[in-house]
Amino acid sequence: MVTSSASSLILFCLTVSLLLLLLPLPSHCADPDPLLDLCVANLTASTSSSYFPCKLPSEVTADDFVFDGLSKQGNVTNLFGVAVTTGNVLSFPGLNTLGLSMNRVDFGPGGINPPHSHPRASEIGIVIEGTILSGIVTTKNVYYGKVATAGQVFAVPRGLVHFELNLGQTKALFFTAFNSHLPGSTVLPLSLFAAAPSIPMEVLTKTYLVDEDAINAMKSKFVF
């Protein structure tokens, strides 16, 4: 004979088991599985979610799944001596909902991809040409740096500040891939000294422990 307390325990166990079966695992919550074979981005439509609305199937063409932008060398005649060519959903609509994108990064001699972060993606890169110092900084301010040459691969965890520096006196090139169709990029010097509207002067002087002349000197370097 089953007692009342035993029945309650059995019911509790069954309820918990059912909930565990019904609730999605954490790994499934970050990015829902696509419900369609394809969803080519309609870039002219407004969006309020992580994805662009899909083009009508009748409007989809083979060109939506091919992007040649990464085959072209970027112009490195700029302040940092670097050119980042993005192959994300904004330039490659076929990536919509796929959780994938790529960048091409060209360096002039001594060029730098300055400290930056990608808020929505982890990154993996492969050096094609040159000698590149790749560095990351953790949230505990621990720095990890490694020199990479052609054929070597480096990884950057999502959201961490990182950089790449061309150590050579000739051009360098690497390609990166992301687990997001729009990883985003926050470039620290531009965010701090070239924001519009500007970050209040008092914030910058107190952050860097310098006077206004020093901040204005920094800002003058980022007038484009």
Binding residues for oxalate: 103, 113, 118, 123
How many other C-beta atoms lie within 10 A of the C-beta of residue 17?
10
Instruction: Give the residue from 80, 157, 137, 83 showing the smallest Cα distance to 114.
Output: 80
Whether the CB-CB separation of 154 and 125 falls below 8 Å is answered with: yes
- Burial level of 142, CB count in 10 A (0-12/13-18/19+)? exposed
Distance of CA 217 to the CA centre of its chain: 30
Measured distance CA(197)–CA(37) in Å, rounded: 43
Q: What's at 59, amino acid-wise?
A: E
Q: How many CA atoms lie within 13 A of 32 on its CB side?
A: 6
Residue stretches of the annotated binding site for Mn(2+) = 116, 118, 123, 162
Cα separation, 216 vs 205, in Å, equals 10
Measured between alpha carbons, how far is 216 from 224 in angstroms, rounded to an integer? 15
Cα 80–84–87 angle (5° rounding)? 170
Q: Which residues belong to the annotated binding site? A: 103, 113, 116, 118, 123, 162
